[in-house]
Amino acid sequence: METPTLTDSVKYVIHNKALIQQHMAQHRSTWQPEQSASTLHANSSLVETFIRVRPLLDKDHACGAFSLIDVQEPRTLHFTQPLVRALGGRFSTKSFKASSVFGSEVDNDAVYNGMRVPHAVQECLAFKTRELSILAYGQTGTGKTYSTTALEDRVVQQIWTAVKQDSHHSVFIEAFEIRGNAAFDLLSDPPLAPVKVLVTGASDVQYSGLSRHEAPSLPDLLDYIGRAKDLRLTRSTVKNSASSRSHSIIRLHICWKETS
């Protein structure tokens, strides 16, 4: 396995592992009790933020890495970092709150349910809400593609299980990627046709030139998603051998079929 080159700050953290872990243990003893998850859900807002901690990978273990993160369920993450490197041995812990925090041992199914995506998708299918968007944010190698791919799979399966029970819905898909200021269609023929993103009002965005495809079956829908993923630009970076080099957006439209 290739050992990555370590920056001075990473070397410093590894060298001070014992002191840092002592600091983290001391910090844990100061934690206040958290609100229960059911109270949180009752207060949920229009936009919810979730944090997922990526487990350490083999290549992290190979260079002696250890976690600087403590998860306090259900919604707080504590992150420890060196404070003043020149003085040595000083560390600080910052705490962040989200709707829920998922530790590195939490699997994709638990994340899907913990984010209450099944409920949100259900609301869309019942036309109680018009739109549901899931976005992933984080630095390279933190698991955005890993998590969103798993969420996409589950959303698609859930939608299909629901719509196949009646003949009143049609499902359409659009997919494009944004590279810098330009956007490209991931499902056009020929592929990568330019897409113009136009903001026409405070909350109205139009995608001029973007192709839309009806998916008559689940395999068709999965095939479209697979094609879009294969076309998406990826490249190897220091931190991620399969790094996504663009922002990809997959849009599913569920339409009510007009009947006589």
Ligand X SMILES: Nc1ncnc2c1ncn2[C@@H]1O[C@H](COP(=O)(O)OP(=O)(O)OP(=O)(O)O)[C@@H](O)[C@H]1O
Binding site residues, Mg ion, CB under 5 A: 144-145, 244
Residue 196's SS3 state is: strand
Residue pair 55/7 in contact by the 8 Å Cβ criterion: no
Q: In this complex, which beta carbon is closest to ligand X, that of residue 67 or of residue 211?
A: 67
Mask for 46-75, x = binds ligand X (CB under 6 A)? --------xx-x------------------
Contacts to ligand X from residues 168-207, by CB under 6 A: none
Is 176 exposed, middle or buried (CB count within 10 Å of its CB: 0-12, 13-18, 19+)? buried
Nearer to ligand X, 75 or 144 (CB): 144
Q: By CB under 6 A, name the one of 77, 141, 188, 195 that touches ligand X.
A: 141
In the list 76, 145, 188, 246, the residue contacting ligand X (rule: CB under 6 A) is 145
Q: Residue 185 in contact with residue 175, Cβ under 8 Å?
A: yes
**Residue 141 near which of ligand X, Mg ion, none (CB within 5-8 Å, type-dependent):** ligand X
**Which residue blocks in the chain are alpha helix, DSSP H?**
8-15, 17-28, 37-42, 58-62, 108-114, 117-125, 144-163, 218-231
Q: Flag whether 141 is marked binding.
A: yes
Q: Are 203 and 133 in contact (CB under 8 A)?
A: no
Among 243, 247, 248, 251, binds ligand X (CB under 6 A): 243
Alpha-carbon distances of 96 from 52, 105, 124, rounded to whole Å: 12, 19, 30
Instruction: From 127-135, 170-178, 185-193, 234-242, give the range in contact with ligand X by CB under 6 A.
Output: 234-242
Only segment of 39-47, 67-75, 173-181, 237-245 that touches ligand X (CB under 6 A): 237-245
Give me the least distance between CB of 146 and ligand X, in Å please. Answer: 3
| 81 is annotated as contributing to ligand binding | no
* Rounded Cα–Cα distance for residues 174 and 210 (Å): 7
Nearer to Mg ion, 25 or 57 (CB): 57
Size, binding site for ligand X by CB under 6 A: 16
Cβ of residue 260: shortest distance to ligand X, in angstroms? Answer: 47
Among Mg ion, ligand X, none, residue 140 binds (CB under 5-8 Å by kind): ligand X
Q: Which is nearer to Mg ion, 93 or 244 (CB)?
A: 244
Residue indicated by tokens 């006589």: 260
Around Cβ 84, how many Cβ atoms within 10 Å?
10
- The DSSP annotation for 217-248 comes to SHHHHHHHHHHHHHHS-EE--SS-TTEE-SEE
Residues engaged in binding ligand X (CB under 6 A): 54-55, 57, 138, 140-146, 237, 240, 242-244
